[in-house]
Chain A
C-alpha cells in the first residue's frame, strides 16, 4: 500500500505539472502574435546595433568595444554589448538569439567558433539583421562583411619606415623577436627582409642579427644587452612584439645607449609611455583596437542602409577613419597601424 501511494501522488503531480507547462507555453506563444507588432513599432525610433565579443571582461575586448560604442554613437544607433563570461564555442549562441529576438538591426560579432555560431546567425539574418564579423571571422557564409585589423605586410613596413627615419636611412639594425616559431612575428620579419633586399631606400640598412626573447621580459632584456655588446655599431633595434619592445626600452633607458640607439616595434601605449616621455623611444607602432569596433559600427550602418552589400569593391564611409574599401571575400581592412609618439601617446589608454 505504501509503495503505491507515492507513485499515484507523483502521477497526479505529473499531470498538474504537464498542464501548467502547456498553459505557460501556450500563453507565451499566443502573446507573441499580438505583441510582435508592437515590438517592431518600438524599434522604429532608433536603429540598434549589438556587439558580441568573444567574452566579457577582457582588457583588449574592452578597448575594441569602446571604439564600437563611439562609432555607434556617431551613426546614431542604440548600442549594447552582449556576451558570455567564458569564451567557449557555443556560449555566444544565446546572445545571438537574444539580439534576434530584440529585432537588432546590426549584429557585430567576434566569433569564438567560425561555424558553431552559423545557424544562429542565419536565423538572425532571416529576421532582418545585418551581420558584421570583426576581430575573429565567422565562416563567410554567415556574415555580410569581416572587419580585419591590419594587413601583415603593412605592419612589417611601418616598423621599417620608423627605424629608417630614426637612423637616417643607414646603419646596422637588429630584430628582437618573440619565439623563433611565432607565426605572426616570422611573417612580419619575412616581409621586412624582403623589403630591405628590394627597396633602394633601404640599401644602406643592414640587418645584422635576429634574436629571440621568447616574449619573456627577462630573456628579452638580456638579449638586448647581448645585442649591444656584440654589435657596438648598432644603430637601431626593431622589436615586433609588445613584451620585447618594453624590455628593450627598459634596458636602454638605464644604459649609456639611451637616445643613441633607436628602438621601435610594436608596443602598448600604456607600457611604453614612460620610455617615450624620457626619450628612450621616439616612435613605435601598433594597431588601435578601438578602430576595429569603430569601423565595424560604420560597416553595419552601410549594410543596413543598403549602400553596400559586402561585395568586393564596395566602399563605405567610416567617420574619422575615412573611406574604406571591401576587399576579397568581403574582408575590409581597418587601415595602417597607428604610430605612437610623444605628441599623441596620452590619447591612448590600452
Chain B
C-alpha cells in the first residue's frame, strides 16, 4: 500500500515538472537567461520596470479571463470596458468636482455595470458569450466615444501619476506589482481552493453535468463576468493614470493580447483546463519575448509572426500531445488483456 502511494507521488512530481505550465516557465527562464547574456541592455533594472509596467494590464485582465475561459466562455469586451472606464473617469474628473478617490470608486462601478450587462445577456437570456461580447466590444467602445468624444482629459494629480509609475526601492519593480500580486492571489485561491472554482472546471467540462452535480451555472457565470468587468475597469484606471491621459481609445486591442497570453499559459479554449500559475507564466513569456526581440532589433513585422506562431503552437501542441498520449494508451490497452480494467490509468 505504502509503495503505491510513493509511486503515485513520484508520478505526480514528474508530471508537475513536465506539465504545460512547468514547460512555460522553463521557456520563460531560458528566454530571460538567453536575453541577459545575448541581448544588449536587457540585463538592467530599467528592463524589470518597463517590462512589468508593459505586461501589467495584460496580467491583471488575464486573471479573471482565465476563469472565464476555464468555464468554457470568453469575454472580448474587456479592452472596451477599460476604455469606457477611462473615458468616464476623465469626464468625472473634469466636470464633477469630486476628489480623485471618489472618481476612481465611481469609475470602478463602470466595470461592475459592464460586466453585469454581459453576465445578464449570457446567463439570463442564455446567449453565447462570444456573440454577446463581440457586441459589447463595439458597444462599450462606442459609449466611451459618446461619453468623452474625441477629447482627452490630462490634468490628473501628478503625484498619483508618479505613484503609478513608482518603483520599489532600487529593484526596478513597480509598486503596482504588489497590487497585481494581490489580484493574482485572489483569483488563484478562487479558482483552485474554493468550491466556486472547482465548479468552473466542471462547467468547462460539461455544463449539463455541472448542473446535475449542483453547480449554480448561471450564478457562477454571472459573477465571473462581473469580476472580469471590475478588473478591466481597474486596468482602465491604471492606463489613465499611467498615460496621464483619459481618452476613449485607451486599451484598444488589449483583449487579444490577454486571450493570447491566457491560451499560451495552458488554459484550454474548450474550457475545463488550465491554472493560474500557467497563465502568469504565459503573460510573462509573451511580454519578455516581445521585449527581448525588440531590443535585439528584430523588425516589428517579424515579431508579430513570432508571437502569432507561438500562440498557434500553444493551442495546437496540447491537442497533439493529448492525441498521441491517447493513441499510446489505447495501443497498450489493446496489447494487455481486455479483462484488465484501466481504472488505475484514468484516475492518475
Separation of A18 and B33 alpha carbons in the complex (Å):
17
Cβ A116 vs Cβ B284 within 8 A: no
Partner of B46, one of A16, A17, A100: A100
**Across the interface, do A29 and B165 meet the contact criterion of CB distance under 8 Å?**
no
CA distance A33 to B44 in the complex (A): 7
- Chain B interface mostly helix, strand, loop or mixed? helix
A208 within 8 A of B: no
Contact assessment for A29 and B40 in the assembled complex, using a CB-CB cutoff below 8 Å: no
Q: Contact string, B294-313, partner A, CB cutoff 8 A, digits 1/0?
A: 11010011001000000000
Least CB distance from A26 to B in Å reads 8
B172 and A29 contact, CB distance less than 8 A: yes
B 317-337 to A, binary, CB cutoff 8 A, 1 in contact else 0: 000000000000000000000
**CB within 8 Å of B: which A49-97 residues:** 56-57, 80, 83-86, 88-90, 93-95, 97
Instruction: Kindly report which residue of chain B lies nearest to residue A55, judged by CB atoms.
Output: B300
On whether A16 and B25 interact (CB within 8 A), knowing A3-B198, A85-B301, the answer reads: yes
Given contacts A25-B173, A56-B300, 14 further A-B contacts (CB under 8 A): A9-B15, A11-B192, A13-B275, A20-B25, A20-B28, A29-B48, A31-B44, A32-B44, A36-B44, A85-B304, A93-B54, A98-B294, A115-B243, A127-B46
Chain A residues packing against B (C-beta within 8 Å): 2-3, 5, 7, 9-14, 16-18, 20-21, 23-25, 27-29, 31-33, 35-36, 39, 42, 56-57, 80, 83-86, 88-90, 93-95, 97-98, 100-103, 113, 115-116, 118-119, 123, 127, 139
State the interface size on chain B (CB cutoff 8 A).
Answer: 59
Q: How far is the CA of A31 from the CA of B48 in the complex (A)?
A: 11
B269 CB, min distance to chain A CBs, angstroms: 19
**Cross-chain contact of A13 among B21, B40, B42, B50 (Cβ < 8 A):** B21
Nearest residue in B to A14 (C-beta to C-beta)?
B277
A94 to B294, CA, bound (A): 9
Known: A20-B25, A85-B301, A115-B154. A28 touches B19 (CB 8 A): no
- Whether A119 pairs with B165 at a CB distance below 8 angstroms is yes
Closest to A24 in B: B32
| Alpha-carbon distance A28/B31, docked complex (angstroms) | 12
Q: Report the bound CA distance from A85 to B15 in whole Å.
A: 41
Q: Are A88 and B21 also in contact (CB < 8 A) when A14-B276, A28-B44, A119-B244 are?
A: no
